Amino acid sequence: MSPLVSMRKRIAFLFLCVSAFLVVLIVRLAVVQLGQGQELAKKAAETHFRGVPVAPKRGNIEDRQGNVLATSVSSETVYAIPAEVRQSGRTAEIAQKLSQVLGKSVDEITQRITKRSALEYVQKRVSPEVAQTVRALNLPGVGITEDSQRYYPNGPLASHIIGFAGIDSQGLEGIELTRDSELKGTPGSVEVEFSANGTELPEANRLYFAPKSGNTVRLTIDKNIQAFAERELQKLMSGQGENMNGQSPKTASILVMDPRTGEMLALATLPSFDPNHYQDFDQATRRNIAIQNGYEPGSTFKIVTLAAALEEKKIKPEEHYFDRGFYTVLGKNVRCWKAGGHGDQTFVQVAENSCNPGFVEMGQRLGIDAFYKYLRDFGFGQKTGIEMSGEALGILANKKRATALDLATMSIGQTNNVTAIQLLSAVAAVANGGTLLKPQLVKEIVSPSGKVVVPFKKEAVRRVISESTSKLEREILEAVVTNGTGRRAFLPGYRVAGKTGTAQKVANGAYIQGDYVASFAAFAPADNPKLAILAVIDGVPFYGGAVAAPVVQAVMLDSLKYLGLKPSLDAPLTPSKPLPGLEFPPVKKAATVPSVLGLPLAQAEKSLTQAGFKVMTEGTGVNVVDQIPHGDATVEAGSTVLLYLGQEAGISALGPWWEEEDEDIEAIKALQGRIPISAVQG
Amino acid sequence: MLRGRRPDMILLGAILALLGIGVVMVYSSSAVKGYIQFDDPYHFLKAEIIWVALGLTAMLLSFRLDVQFLRRWAKPALYLAIVLLLLVKVPGIGRKVNGADRWIGLGPLSVQPSEVIKLAMVLVMAHIMALKPQQIQFFRQGLLPVLALLGLVAGLIMLQPDLGTTLAIAGTTFFMLIAAGARVGHLVALGGSGLALVVAAIAAAPYRMRRIFAFLDPWADPSGKGYQTIQALLALGPGRLFGLGLGQSRQKFLYLPENHTDFIFAMIGEELGFIGATLVVLLFFLVAWRGFRTAMSAPDVFSGLLAVGITSLVSIQAMINMGVVSGVLPVTGITLPFLSYGGTSLVFTMLAVGMLLNISAQVRRG
């Protein structure tokens, strides 16, 4: 065979080899480009695209009727892409120009726009004009993106519950914090193609991924009932509280619950803050004292003692008890508030009279074990689980060391430390037929399209007392308001049940004399309770019932009317035993107090009298140096305005304005030398 | 053409088409790099046009040269190439690029001696094998001298080191041995030991080892060893069937290194899609087909072996390069003939195909 012929065959073989490889190549290209193309294109896009985040609209917080309590309005943010800024080589010029527009120092801006990060916010929440100016400057690596800003249309209303969100729309306190994950939504982005060295591509593709708005959180709070409560608190704080004689308490809270479901209709605390400017308020102001602080409940706690004694059948309502005016336990006398005692009474009358020895008797009959069982069952010493951060546990006296004397003082609400929300939950359990419910603040979660995502679910903690005990105690507590010490909360035509209380305040591990916590717990209508209210007023020089009951009365009346509850025909129209001097004011009329500061006394008196106010003076002097209420305050027409006439004026003349008789004060006085439980255990 | 001789027009057409695609794609691929490095998006295009002009001149020149003249100058050309190969190691003359001594500077020009030696080796091998065509069947008289020369040159190139060129030369020599009529037994043994050598070369240098593993599973180390393979795949994949469109490459924005040289095939796949990439593969198929066809009908043994050698050189480089880019072969620094950005490689490839066209013009037609 000639070499050329054999060569041809072998060359043909070579050609075959090459062709075979080229076929393999084409198959491989088909696999990569056609088979895996989509997947690889996605991967490539991931490396090429870089996102500028677009903040989602944070969900609203609404009250139970759908009134907006917190919403988000869009604002604009100036951002920089440091890699692009550096690439442009005009860093100094960019910083200079931005500094002029944004009013920040050149150094600060330079530092931000050259930071080693993919994206840097230069200034958040700029005005539309500033945003427009920045856009017009058209600086390389600098852009504007939409951001959202939190707005609270009602200002301080329900601020302790709502809380607030920070500059990045992140929840910081209150529901804004606890429901942050529901509210915040999912951020979207504008994706822009970048080169490997971090600069935007010429004619880069831009993709917009829409952010997903957050859900709406609908609270159990009713804006109107909350407003009733806050109005009463404002009145107290501005020194217009009934029987406060122009004094302002330190803090006060009013809690309104639907005892049937555990829904909080109002949870008001003063002092409060404006969440729109939360930075301007200190931590103490933002504290939700109704949940985060404990106090000694005083006589309001007798509701629990009574419930336990009735449930355990240690007493019968018609059983007689003789009050000698004191009850001696372990050599100490627990005194009744009424000098000489109430004498012979039934246990219903013991409750009506808030008779201390009678309640001590109930406690002693129950014994330490049973009493503690009810303390635990009613939820004291434990968190209620209400949706607020920093809920206090309250402090119970150590059961192992508890003596009969401790039992006696605990029976009348002294010694133990409870939170307002614990006490209200316990009262609601007594009112609703005997089931302790978890107090709740969130009614439902609603998606942006208006669909209810998470509906309200009542959460029963446990049954504490029987239906019949509950019914019995409702009647007894109604009698307390109708016939007894709770008469200041009486509402003609409505069946109100309730109990007053006064407790001594604690500071630096000791009880403070002459500084009290006044409270009133009530529910209505007594036969089928729809509202349970607790007012706690801290820092009053006066006794509980006189200060707290009218506050609850006002909130109760407005709320019952607002909820459309008609006066009941079988409800009494007058209390059976009116307290001396207790009047039911006619229809209240509001009037504005004229300012008389600096005026001579005669002129001031004339001006106030003409406006229909009564005048009282304090101190000696020619001109008015101060007045309470202050000018422009809106108060009840015909109320008294106190004028201060000189520096030496004090509050010494306040004495006669309150009643000496308070159910708790005598007990407190008799038990001096006690050490507060918070000082022992805390 | 000149003197009324007509080369293989299909071969010429395929070559010119590849060259044309190359110029366009070099511009499209290098504009970003040119703009960033030299403030001029046309920087590499301008140079490419000069190189193409030089290449076409070289092609015309070699087309006109007598094949017997080439044969006489084969040995001196090899000596010159070996000297150049040694010069890259001389400080002051040799230039280091990417950790390998591959270039020697001649004033403003850089010459890659490995490109020179590829062509010189094809010429010398064709010469040796054509001296006594039957002798190639014998080990000592035929095979051993060829292998000795290959071993010497391969050793010199591996001094740089440059695995890609070594593979191309070894592969081409192997192809020429097959065509020249070496015994099948010898060839199998040779192929086996060649493969063993490659494995040894890979195992000896850790960086080659890592490259091998990287190509098998590039996603294991996406920012390190697997980077180039992944970036090539991220160019090819998004191209899909029709490509992103000419000039629309995203990977050219500094994601894919060497995108206008070794990885230009990835750019073609990205901008022109599966259709464009396949077209390029088919053009190389045409070159191989017409090249080997020329070899089969060459007037004499030397011309035939020369045609086989040139066709094999071009085909093997194209196969390795496209294999690397599409991820079927480990990353090896080798240019894609006609398409990769200019330089010595383009000029010498054109010089070689000029000879091939010259031979094709002498085939007996009928």
Task: Say how far apart CA A240 and CA A248 lie, in whole Å.
Answer: 8
CB–CB of A134/A251 below 8 Å? no
What ipTM was estimated for this complex?
0.92
pLDDT value at B98 more than 80: no
pLDDT value at A391 more than 70: yes
Q: By the CB < 8 Å criterion, does B242 face chain A?
A: no
Q: Taking the mean position of all CA atoms in its chain, how far away is CA A537?
A: 16
The mean pLDDT of A300-318, rounded to a whole number, is 92
pLDDT value at B351 more than 70: yes
**What confidence score (pLDDT) does residue A586 get?**
39
Write out residues 250-269 of B within 8 Å (CB-CB) of A. 250-251, 253-255, 269
Q: Tell me which residue has tokens 């015309």.
A: B60
Q: Tell me which residue has tokens 């090819």.
A: B236
What's the per-residue H, E or C state across A235-282?
A: HHHCCCCCCCCCCCCCEEEEEEEECCCCEEEEEEEECCCCHHHHHHCC
Q: Confidence band (pLDDT; 50, 70, 90) for A582? A: very low
**What confidence score (pLDDT) does residue A581 get?**
41
Cα distances from B364 to residues A36, A217, A648, B289, B300, in angstroms, run 48, 91, 133, 17, 11
Q: Confidence band (pLDDT; 50, 70, 90) for B229? A: confident
Q: Confidence band (pLDDT; 50, 70, 90) for A3? A: low
Nearest to B44 by CA among B58, B61, B26, B64: B26
Number of Cβ pairs < 8 A linking chain A and chain B: 135
Q: Known catalytic residue: A299?
A: yes
Q: By the CB < 8 Å criterion, does A129 face chain B?
A: no
Q: Tell me which residue has tokens 């507590």.
A: A477
Burial-class residue B206 by CB neighbours within 10 Å (0-12, 13-18, 19+): exposed
**CA-based max dimension of chain A:** 145
Find the closest chain A residue to B279 by CA distance. A26
Q: By the CB < 8 Å criterion, does B278 face chain A?
A: yes
Reported as a single tens digit per residue, the pLDDT across A420-445 is 999 999 999 999 999 999 999 999 99
Task: Say how far apart CA A56 and CA A75 lie, in whole Å.
Answer: 12
Peptide bond into B133 cis (omega under 30): no
The mean pLDDT of A103-120, rounded to a whole number, is 83
Q: Which of A169, A189, A272, A299 is catalytic?
A: A299
Positive or negative, the CA dihedral B126, B131, B137, B142 is negative
Helix (H, G, I), strand (E, B) or coil at B180: helix
pLDDT value at B64 more than 60: yes
- Inter-chain residue contact A201 with B250, CB threshold 8 Å: yes
Peptide bond into A629 cis (omega under 30): yes
- Inter-chain residue contact B239 with A37, CB threshold 8 Å: yes
Distance from CA of B88 to the nearest CA of A (A): 33
Q: Confidence band (pLDDT; 50, 70, 90) for A452? A: very high
**What confidence score (pLDDT) does residue A580 get?**
43
Question: Which amino acid belongs to residue A41?
Answer: A
Of the candidates B181, B239, B241, the beta carbon closest to that of A6 is on: B181
CB–CB of B296/A2 below 8 Å? no
Mutate to test the interface with B, among A2, A11, A50 (most CBs of B within 10 A): A11
Question: Which amino acid belongs to residue B337?
Answer: P
Structural domains in chain A, sorted by start: 51-217 (3.90.1310.10), 590-669 (3.30.10.20)
Q: Taking the mean position of all CA atoms in its chain, how far away is CA B91?
A: 27
Burial-class residue A45 by CB neighbours within 10 Å (0-12, 13-18, 19+): middle
Distance from CA of A63 to the nearest CA of B (A): 51
Distance from CA of A38 to the nearest CA of B (A): 7
Nearest to A184 by CA among A170, A173, A194, A196: A170
- Inter-chain residue contact B253 with A195, CB threshold 8 Å: yes
Q: Confidence band (pLDDT; 50, 70, 90) for A507? A: low
pLDDT value at A248 more than 70: yes
Question: Which amino acid belongs to residue A262?
Answer: G
Chain A residues whose CB is inside 8 A of the B34 CB are none
Reported as a single tens digit per residue, the pLDDT across A489-503 is 888 888 889 988 887
Of the candidates B36, B285, B304, the beta carbon closest to that of A22 is on: B285
Helix (H, G, I), strand (E, B) or coil at A499: strand
The average confidence (pLDDT) of chain B is 87
Chain A residues whose CB is inside 8 A of the B278 CB are 26, 29
Lowest average pLDDT, out of A464-468, B55-59, B352-356, B362-366, goes to B362-366
Chain A residues whose CB is inside 8 A of the B288 CB are 15, 18-19, 22
- Inter-chain residue contact B32 with A32, CB threshold 8 Å: no
CB–CB of A163/A69 below 8 Å? no
Q: By the CB < 8 Å criterion, does B304 face chain A?
A: yes
pLDDT value at A5 more than 60: yes
pLDDT value at B11 more than 90: yes
Of the candidates B282, B288, B326, the beta carbon closest to that of A32 is on: B326
| Beta-carbon-side half-sphere exposure of residue A5 (alpha carbons within 13 Å) | 2
- Inter-chain residue contact A22 with B319, CB threshold 8 Å: yes
Q: Confidence band (pLDDT; 50, 70, 90) for B109? A: low
State which of A492-501, A660-669, B102-111 shows the largest mean pLDDT.
A492-501
Count other C-beta atoms under 10 Å from residue B39's C-beta: 8
**What confidence score (pLDDT) does residue A289 get?**
87
The mean pLDDT of A257-278, rounded to a whole number, is 92
Task: Say how far apart CA B154 and CA A462 lie, in whole Å.
Answer: 90
Distance from CA of B106 to the nearest CA of A (A): 33
Nearest to A412 by CA among A679, A680, A674: A674
Lowest average pLDDT, out of B18-27, B121-130, B208-217, B251-260, goes to B208-217
Write out residues 221-240 of B within 8 Å (CB-CB) of A. 233-240
Find the closest chain B residue to A44 by CA distance. B234
Mutate to test the interface with A, among B39, B188, B236, B254 (most CBs of A within 10 A): B236
pLDDT value at A587 more than 90: no
State which of A61-75, A82-96, A633-647, B213-227 shows the largest mean pLDDT.
A61-75
The mean pLDDT of A296-317, rounded to a whole number, is 91
Find the closest chain A residue to B296 by CA distance. A8
Q: Confidence band (pLDDT; 50, 70, 90) for B10? A: very high
Q: Confidence band (pLDDT; 50, 70, 90) for A663? A: low
CB–CB of B270/B250 below 8 Å? yes
Q: Confidence band (pLDDT; 50, 70, 90) for B284? A: very high
Angle at A175 between CA A171 and CA A176, to 5 degrees: 20
The average confidence (pLDDT) of chain A is 83
The total number of residues written for chain A in this structure: 682
Cα distances from A270 to residues A255, A284, B109, in angstroms, run 12, 11, 86
**What confidence score (pLDDT) does residue A542 get?**
59
Lowest average pLDDT, out of A554-568, B196-210, B289-303, goes to B196-210
More confident residue, A566 or A258: A258
**CA-based max dimension of chain B:** 60
Task: Say how far apart CA B151 and CA A269 lie, in whole Å.
Answer: 94
**What confidence score (pLDDT) does residue A398 get?**
86
Q: By the CB < 8 Å criterion, does A37 face chain B?
A: yes
Please report, rounded to a whole number, the percentage of residues in chain B having pLDDT higher than 70: 93
Reported as a single tens digit per residue, the pLDDT across A215-247 is 999 999 999 999 999 999 988 888 777 777 677
Chain A residues whose CB is inside 8 A of the B234 CB are 40, 43-44, 47
Pairing outcome for strands A188-193 and A206-209? antiparallel
- Inter-chain residue contact B234 with A18, CB threshold 8 Å: no
Q: Confidence band (pLDDT; 50, 70, 90) for A653? A: very low
Reported as a single tens digit per residue, the pLDDT across A360-371 is 999 999 999 999
Residues in CB range of B311: below 8 A, 6 or more apart? B287, B288, B291, B292, B294, B295, B356
Q: In what order do the strands lie in the sheet with A49-54?
A: A49-54, A188-193, A206-209
**What confidence score (pLDDT) does residue A585 get?**
39
Reported as a single tens digit per residue, the pLDDT across A613-628 is 878 776 677 777 777 6
